[in-house]
Structure 1
Amino acid sequence: MKSTKNLITVVVIATALISCETSKKESTTAKVEQSSEKSSSETKITLTQAPPSTQFPDARLTKKDVKMSNQDTSYQVDYSFDVENFEVGAQTTGAANRGIANSSKGQHIHFIVNDGPYSAHYMPGASDHLKAGNYAVLAFLSRSYHESVKNKDAFHLENLKVGDVEEKTIDLSAQHMFYSRPKGTYSGADTKKVMLDFYLVNTTLSPTGNKVRATINGEEFMIDKWAPYYIEGLQKGETTVELELVDAKGEFIEGPYNKVKRTVTLK
């Protein structure tokens, strides 16, 4: 009987030791996987100026007309534009070789109301539904890969009064910055390089003058040239981009749209 009890005790102890060793191995494996995930998440974010694009020095965007119709709780607003020396709907030369998101519908117009996200329009016009109020409306020409055409005639900015409201306008002669890209959701190869682009009115950037402070997932970059930039090193999931127009001392330049924060998704 004692021999049987001793044998049972040995078996129990051996089983416990095997279970303990197995638990240790599982614990070690879990720690290695967690460490690997942490290392992966520490990939450095970089911001570099994009290579030169096809230029459109003579491109011109001019408002032809704007019509508004009351639709109960909102107004249908329809813009029509004249576009010169720029083909809306065409693919921009070299688009396939830039390695960034590109619209299969071609070149277009970015249409921005106040500091909202742009809508893309592939005909020389734009439409929106707006409630009664006062709005700043910006439209500018865009390459097929959503890079703005940055010349003095390629945009239109105005105050728009919708409905019967007291007129309240922004100072169109002041310094303004409008956010453009990145926007929405990126997937597959488009997540490797994400373009950052914005539109400036009545201001310039320089190493000794105004700049744009870009904060990407908490990392700060100072931009001293008005140009498109490529963001690389982003992880899958949500990315937060904040832009601020600042002066030579790094102080925020007051303006209704000179500071904006957006979130985009990479998957």
Structure 2
Amino acid sequence: MKFTKLLIVLIALAVFSACVNRPDTDQQVNPGGYTGERNLQRNASTNTHESGENEQHSGENAHGLTEVPRPPKIVEMMAQRGAQDEAHPTLRIVEPAANSAVSSSNVKVKLEISGDLKGYKPMKDMTTGMGNHIHVILDNQPYEAYYNLDREFELRNVADGEHTLRVFPSRPWHESYKTEGAFQMVKFTVRGGGADAGKPATTASGQTMANANPSAAPEGKDMQKSTAGAVDIAKPLLTYSRPKGEYKGADADAIMIDFWLLNARLQGDGGEYRVRYSVDDGEAKYVDKWKPIWLSGWTNGKHNVKVELIDKAGNIVDNGGYNSTTREITVSK
């Protein structure tokens, strides 16, 4: 009898203990705090898709492009060049002279380079097809590389009218030198040159320099078409440089965006301007320090890259249509 009573008491104590230790499911346990490894794993599992979307918007643009560090092969090339990357090349446009009139559709370009060059010299390595060079830009068209200043560089079939010529030195991988005096620009006018309006302007070697009778793209407003655009060299000016052309294989892994700025300091450098870029009309991104960026994650095919100079209010800075430039590139991995 005593044993039976003792057994009943023990069973009752066990039941009471189980009831006391059971968590109340009607209350939130540890609100806002650590919920245990199991709950963290569950939350991570249920939020995986949402988290991935947030990462895409914060670290990538709408097309999955991600800004990455300077590619290792470029870092290696920089190391091999020694002091050249610290050079301060200065260019001077000898021909065509500023505000000159040219009576031919063939326009000779003559440049002089000086300054603290530290071994920098424009010249193509015939083995690699690369080398230091000068970017030569007619109006607001894609640049052509000028490798040997001792050889004549000629623009052919240049249409009648006013034109701009912009030049600046570049490295073998097309990154521009951004030092004082490196960038030069002149305006000149072709009169009675007799160019074929149905054909593009080219170099002597046949490289296209400008479309037939090109006009600058308007900056959100109507403007009279002009081969040069109403460009004021005293105003803030962005010159689009890269990307350009076709990128194949490993060269398409990380593609550089580079530009030249005149009379404009970016916010990250203590100024008031920003550079805005987008790819295929996707999400706009911003550059606040004047240096190139590399983007990875490109898909095969054609892409439109837009680079713009904007003021602190987010408006494109008006300067002849040049401060908003779009180029088409091709990626073939």
For normalisation by structure 1, the TM-score amounts to: 0.71
Could you report, residue by residue, the CA deviation over 1:13-47 in whole angstroms, capped at 9, with x for unpaired residues? xxxxxxxxxxxxxxxxxxxxxxxxxxxxx872112
- Alpha-carbon distance in 2 for matches of 1:105, 1:212: 28
Distance apart, 1:255 and its partner CA: 1.5
Aligned match of 2:161: 133
Distance apart, 1:49 and its partner CA: 6.0
> Secondary structure at 2:251's aligned position in 1?
helix
- Alpha-carbon distance in 2 for matches of 1:230, 1:64: 34
Aligned match of 1:159: 187
Greater shift, 220-229 or 53-62, is seen at: 53-62
- Alpha-carbon distance in 1 for matches of 2:111, 2:292: 25
Could you report, residue by residue, the CA deviation over 1:139-179 in whole angstroms, capped at 9, with x for unpaired residues? 010101111111111121111112259x9863210111111
- Alpha-carbon distance in 2 for matches of 1:89, 1:212: 31
Residue segments in structure 2 that go unaligned for 5+ positions in a row: 1-61, 79-83, 194-227
Aligned match of 1:94: none
- Alpha-carbon distance in 2 for matches of 1:147, 1:119: 14
Could you report, residue by residue, the CA deviation over 1:75-106 in whole angstroms, capped at 9, with x for unpaired residues? 11111111122301167xxxxxxxxxxx7231
Identity %: 29
Q: Residue 228 in 1 paired to residue 255 in 2?
A: no
Q: Residue 216 in 1 paired to residue 250 in 2?
A: no
Aligned match of 1:183: 244
> Secondary structure at 2:259's aligned position in 1?
strand
Aligned match of 1:17: none
Residue segments in structure 1 that go unaligned for 5+ positions in a row: 1-41, 92-102
Q: Residue 89 in 1 paired to residue 123 in 2?
A: yes
> Secondary structure at 1:123's aligned position in 2?
coil
CA RMSD of aligned residues (A): 2.6
User: Larger C-alpha radius of gyration, 1 or 2?
Assistant: 2
For normalisation by structure 2, the TM-score amounts to: 0.58
Aligned match of 2:235: 174
- How many pairs align? 211
Q: Residues 168 and 197 of structure 1: is their aligned pair in 2 closer, same or farther, counting only changes over 3 Å?
A: closer
Q: Residues 176 and 121 of structure 1: is their aligned pair in 2 closer, same or farther, counting only changes over 3 Å?
A: same
The aligned runs of 1:94-109 (5 Å cut-off) are 104-109=129-134
- Alpha-carbon distance in 1 for matches of 2:106, 2:70: 37
Q: Residue 45 in 1 paired to residue 78 in 2?
A: no
Find the partner of 1:79 among 92, 98, 109.
Answer: 109
Distance apart, 1:120 and its partner CA: 0.8
Distance apart, 1:64 and its partner CA: 2.5
Q: Residues 126 and 201 of structure 1: is their aligned pair in 2 closer, same or farther, counting only changes over 3 Å?
A: farther
Aligned match of 1:198: 259
Aligned match of 2:329: 264
- Alpha-carbon distance in 1 for matches of 2:231, 2:256: 29
> Secondary structure at 1:230's aligned position in 2?
strand
The 4+ residue runs of structure 1 with deviation greater than 4 A are 51-54
> Secondary structure at 1:240's aligned position in 2?
strand
> Secondary structure at 2:85's aligned position in 1?
coil
Q: Residue 120 in 1 paired to residue 150 in 2?
A: no
Q: Is the 8 A contact 1:111 1:126 kept in 2?
A: no
- Alpha-carbon distance in 1 for matches of 2:108, 2:261: 24
